[in-house]
Every structure is written in structure tokens, then in C-alpha cells.
A and B are shown apart, each in its own frame.
Chain A
Amino acid sequence: MLAKRIIPCLDVKDGRVVKGIKFVNFRDAGDPVELAKYYNEQGADELSFLDITASYENRRIIIDIIRKVAKEVFIPLSVGGGINNIETIRELLNAGAEKVSIGTAAVKNPELVKEAAKKFGSQAIVLSIDAKRKNNSWTVYIKGGREDANIDALKFAKKMEKLGAGEILLNSIDRDGTKRGYDIELNKRFSEELNIPIIASGGAGSLNDIKNVLTKGKADAALAASIFHYKQYTINDVKKYLKRSNIEVRI
């Protein structure tokens, strides 16, 4: 059967990986290519790059980074952060990304998801949702989690699935950065109601958190940043733990 994926997320600002500063044994701890190689060696199933500056000038930098990483790392690469037009998507895919994730732009212009999926295939288009609990459901946040779009997240995800999104990167704003564990209910609900893979994000603090979101939360993949960047665990630690718990992983 299909293995559950473990995906480290690299935040890139002005061409440098931020948050990854604790990698003291690297000559250059902020070099995205070095970090990508490092995670690939550890057994990452995919690498997710988040362009946190995402301005027009910086777009060239992230495209160049993807081009360099793709020459040395032969696993799927995905890129997100401020992507809002077909031409950028084309450039990123041509540079060697497998997938791009679309967030705020999907809320403002759902047609972009439809058009992109039609042009490049659903497998290349990831819908990125920042979800925050509101009463008994979740609302979509945009602009890097700063603004409530007042849209029901599940309804929105279903609509995007119809328009052609191939996967959902589901980030819990409530849990992001807390290390209190993923929002299990959020992931379970989305995974049961949608027919496309769910990548859980936000809240990973322990091995057990990752196990829980892949079992109880029914997510297809788990994305994490700080537990890997700060070397709390290696990707291999996570996978060994999951394997011992009888979860299929690629080791």
C-alpha cells in the first residue's frame, strides 16, 4: 500500500532558509540546497518550500533555488507562498518543482485553481488552507494567517477539489508553532469528506503527534518544520517510530 509521507518544510526568505539556524555542522546553515540534500539523505519523502517573502523580486530567487535543488535531489519538491498566476506556476514547474501550493490566491480567484489544474494536471496543484476553529467548524485565513476570509474551510476545500486541486495542505492556525500536536479533528474531518490526499500541518511536537494525525487524523502525509530544523528528531527517527507502530512508511 501507499506509504504515509513525512515532509519537512523549509521557510525561505531572501534566498535563505530561516528557522534552520541550529544546523551548526553545516558550513552554511541557511543554504536551501544543503538543507534539501540533508533531508533527502535522512529519508524525507518530499520537500516543501515556503517562500515567505514572495515579492516579485524574490520570485526569481525561489525559482533559482528550485532549479538548483532539482539538480541534486531526486524526490518531489513543492513550493508555496504568494503564488497567484499561471506564469509563475509554469516557471516553478519548469524549474523542477512537482507541485505548487496556492493559498490566498485560491480564495480570491478560484478560477486560478481550475485553470492551473487544467493546464498542468491536478497532481501539480496543491490547495493550501490555513484553517482556524470557529464555533463547531473551521474558517479560512488568508495572507499568511493574518486575515479571516470568513469562508467555511470544508466547503471551500470541497469546491476546490471539484475545480481540480490535487491535494490539500491543511494547516491549523490554532496549533501552528505550539508543538501541542496536530488538530486531529480537523484532519479527520477533511480526510473523510474529501477524496484527495490531505497533508497535515501545524502543531507537531512529538513522535506521537505525527503518529496520531496519520492514524486517528487519517492524514496521508505529515508536514513539520521546527522539530526537524532544531534536530529534536530526524526524519529517520520519525519513520522508525511509525514503522514500529505498524504504519507503512518508506524506509
Chain B
Amino acid sequence: MIAIIDYGAGNANSVKNALDYLGKDSVITSDPEKILKADKVIFPGVGAFGDAMRELKKRKLDSAIKEFIESKKPFLGICIGLQVLFRESEESPNVKGLGILKGKVAKFAKGKIPQIGWNKISSKSIGDGYAYFVNSYYAIPEDKKIIESTSDYYVKFTAAVKKDNIFATQFHLEKSGKFGLEILRKWSNAG
């Protein structure tokens, strides 16, 4: 069973629709116990870094996510679900992220903001293609080895990270057409 974390502002339904379409069992939940019992967890997010962290804390989901990731079971973060894995973001300077990955989240310096639309990603292992992005900020990991995919928006930026049992995408793979569904299918099937 895949647990999709619902923290009130995310797009949990869209992720559930994609998993249903792929024939994968999933449940939308904000219950830390259910999350810890799941085989896999997806944390989709939209909105601001600070709001997401506040909502996670309010529901005690921050510690549930940390504990789940420590259990070495597969974790997938999407959009803000990638960004909050880092320690800090220029979006909310006074709010600490989960700090599971080292590095920070910075704001795009050029171009229309947010970046909205399809951008091409180059990847180590998940394939190259166009993915759907909606973001004003991007992660800068300290350890460059965890960068799985990059894309370009007036600056080369992190499109996905992979470290041990953690996989996270800045793009919305649940809205990236066949390309995104294929990445989600592979992740759901693996391990």
C-alpha cells in the first residue's frame, strides 16, 4: 500500500488519480501511524515552503516523514515535497525545513516567476523528456551526486534528486503526461 500524505493544501487527489490509473493501491492520509505502516510514501505539495512546514508540524507529519525515511522504505517527494527535505529556503527564511538533505532552496533570479509549463529534463536514470513545472524556487543540494535530473530556466537547476530510499521531483510527475506516469509506474513497481 502506498500512502499519499495529505496536509491540507497539496494535490493529493491528482496523485491518487495517477496511481489508480496505473492500478496501484493507495490511500490519502494525514495519520502519522498509517504513514509509518505504509510500504511506500508519496508527499506531494503545492504552495509555500513555510506554510507546508507549519502544516506538517501541526499534524505531527514532520516527524512521521523523518521516521519513515529512516526506515529505508521508498519515499517520493513532489514539488514542495522535494524542497522541504532541505534545511532552508529563501522563500521562508525563518522556517526550518526537514533537513534530511543538505543544501538550500533558492529563488529563480531571471524570467517570469513562477516558471509555469513544460521544461526538458536530462536525467541519470529516469529518462529525458518534458515535465510539467510550477515553481519559483529550486533546490541546491550540497552533495551534487544526489542530483538525478536537471533542467534549465535561465539557470541550470535541480529537477529531481535521488539518495538511498529518497526520490523527489521538482516537477509534477502526476501532471507530466505519459512521461510522468512512466516515472511513477517504475517507482511504484521498484523494490
* Chain A residues whose C-beta falls within 8 Å of the C-beta of B115 in the assembled complex: 2
Which residue of B is nearest A44, CB measured?
Answer: B177
Known contacts A40-B177, A75-B175, A123-B46; is-contact A70 B17 (Cβ 8 Å): yes
| B176-A74 in contact (CB<8A) | yes
Q: Is the interface of A mostly helix, strand, loop or mixed?
A: loop
Q: Does A5 contact B (CB under 8 A)?
A: yes
| B34 touches A (CB below 8 Å) | no
Which of chain B's residues have a CB closer than 8 A to the CB of A196? Answer: 112-113
Identify which of residues 1-46 in chain A touch chain B, using a CB-to-CB cut-off of 8 Å: 1-3, 5, 40, 45
Of the four ranges (under 10, 10 to 19, 20 to 34, 35 or more), the interface on chain A belongs to: 20 to 34
Which partner residue on chain A sits nearest B132 by CB separation? A76
Contact with B along A89-105 (1 / 0, CB 8 A): 00000111010000000
Q: With a CB–CB cut-off of 8 A, which chain A residues contact B132?
A: 75-76
Q: Determine the main DSSP class of B at the interface with A.
A: mixed
> Would you call B118 and A5 a contact (CB within 8 A)?
yes
Most chain A CB within a 10 A radius of its CB, from B21, B113, B118, B132: B118
A59–B25 Cα distance when bound, in Å, is: 31
> Are the CB atoms of A45 and B46 closer together than 8 Å?
no
Q: Mark B172-190, 1 if CB is under 8 A from A, else 0.
A: 0011111011000000000
In the complex, chain B residues 26-61 whose Cβ is within 8 Å of any chain A Cβ = 46-48
Q: Tell me whether A71 and B20 are in contact (CB under 8 A).
A: yes
Asked whether any CB of chain B lies closer than 8 Å to the CB of A133, the reply is no
Complex CA–CA separation, A150 to B114 (angstroms): 30
Cα-based distance from A95 to B9 in the complex (angstroms): 13
Most buried by B among A98, A120, A195: A98
Which residue among A74, A76, A120, A167 has the maximum number of chain B CB atoms within 10 Å of its CB?
A: A74
Q: Could you tell me if B130 and A3 are in contact, using CB atoms closer than 8 angstroms?
A: yes
8 Å CB interface, B69-128 against A = 111-120
B18 and A2 contact, CB distance less than 8 A: no
Q: Contact between B17 and A195 (Cβ–Cβ < 8 Å)?
A: no
Contact B47 A121 (CB under 8 A): yes
Bound together, the chains give a CA A124 to CA B180 distance in angstroms of 20
Can you list 25 A-B contacts with CB-CB less than 8 angstroms, sorted by A residue number?
A1-B153, A2-B117, A2-B153, A5-B118, A40-B177, A45-B117, A70-B13, A70-B14, A71-B20, A71-B21, A74-B21, A74-B174, A74-B175, A74-B176, A74-B180, A75-B132, A95-B13, A98-B134, A121-B9, A121-B46, A121-B48, A123-B116, A197-B116, A220-B112, A220-B117
Question: A residues within 8 Å of B by Cβ?
Answer: 1-3, 5, 40, 45, 70-72, 74-76, 94-96, 98, 120-124, 166-167, 195-197, 220-221, 250
